[in-house]
Amino acid sequence: MSAPEQISSTMGAFIALIKRDLMLSYRHRNELLNPLLFFVIVVTLFPLGVSPEKQLLQTMAPGVIWVAALLAAMLSLDTLFKSDYEDGTLEQMMLSPHSNAVLVLAKIISHWLVTGVPIILMAPLLGLFMFLPWDGIAALMLTLLLGTPVLSLVGAIGMALTLGLNRGGMLLSLLVLPLYIPVLIFSASAVDASMAGLDINGQLYFLGALLVLSITLAPLAAATSLKISVE
């Protein structure tokens, strides 16, 4: 195959993979909603477990919502490569003539579309529920928009590393959470700052830099790890 032909065929596989993953999620419609439901449930546990007081909830809101988003993203990673690994599809992906990193990126993108995006859309409602002011909600959505893709990308590396391991689920959290923590800290502090009327550009730049870094590195790292896991 000539080079441009090769590229267009890789693009074809890229799109086919995204389409297939979305179709799979659609077939599991009830599970499509699951990370979202988990997100909602975790957030609602706090007024129950801690206290329904308005002042306290408002203080806790940015942190709690972000922790919930983080946990939801982390737990939904399970659907990222696991089933492909178990039924041998991943082997076939590694054997395909296309760049593995591109295929991995396709999978990460469709994962973000079905987990990250619903969380972003749901966040304002939960913000209101936790008495967050409008400024805070806007900052929350911005940080989620920049942060959730990072969670999917970094999570993909962790997932790829722990894939071959029996019951690697919890090892995954050990690997991935430390890398998630910077995202959490910066995002929550951005929301806090915006509520106090401060400037949040610094935090947003940091999140943006993380996003760019992880978009360039994560597919490669994940593809490498997948190769190891398949072996």
CA dihedral angle for residue 222, residue 224, residue 225, residue 228, rounded to 10 degrees: 150
Partner from other proteins, a copy of itself, none contacting 169, C-beta within 5 to 8 A by type? a copy of itself
User: 173-192: which residues touch other proteins (CB under 8 A)?
Assistant: 174-175, 177-179, 181-182, 185
Q: How far is the CB of 171 from a copy of itself (least distance, A)?
A: 6
Note whether 75 binds a copy of itself by CB under 8 A.
Answer: yes
What gap in Å lies between CA 170 and CA 30, rounded to an integer? 24
How many other CB atoms are found less than 10 A from the CB of residue 52? Answer: 9
Token representation of residue 96: 């395909």
Residue 222 in contact with residue 80, Cβ under 8 Å? no
Alpha carbon of residue 38 to chain centroid: 14
| Minimum CB distance to a copy of itself, residue 118 (Å) | 12
Chain residues 134-193 in contact with a copy of itself, contact rule CB under 8 A: 166-171, 173-174, 177, 181, 184-185, 188
Other beta carbons within 10 angstroms of residue 7's beta carbon come to 14
Whole-angstrom distance, CA of residue 129 vs CA of residue 162: 37
- 78 counts as binding other proteins under rule CB under 8 A: no
Q: Does 38 bind a copy of itself (CB under 8 A)?
A: yes
Contact 127, 136 (CB under 8 A): yes
Q: In this structure, what token pair is assigned to residue 195?
A: 């509520």
Q: Please name which of 73, 44, 48, 110 lies closest in space to residue 184, comparing C-alpha atoms.
A: 73
Binding site for other proteins (CB under 8 A): 1, 6, 9-10, 12-13, 16-17, 20, 23-24, 27-30, 41, 44, 47-48, 52, 83, 86-89, 91-98, 103, 129, 154, 157, 161-162, 164-166, 168, 171, 174-175, 177-179, 181-182, 185, 213, 217, 221, 224-225, 228-231
Binding site for a copy of itself (CB under 8 A): 28, 30-31, 34-35, 37-38, 41-42, 45-46, 48-51, 56, 59-60, 62-64, 66-67, 70-71, 75-76, 78-79, 83, 166-171, 173-174, 177, 181, 184-185, 188
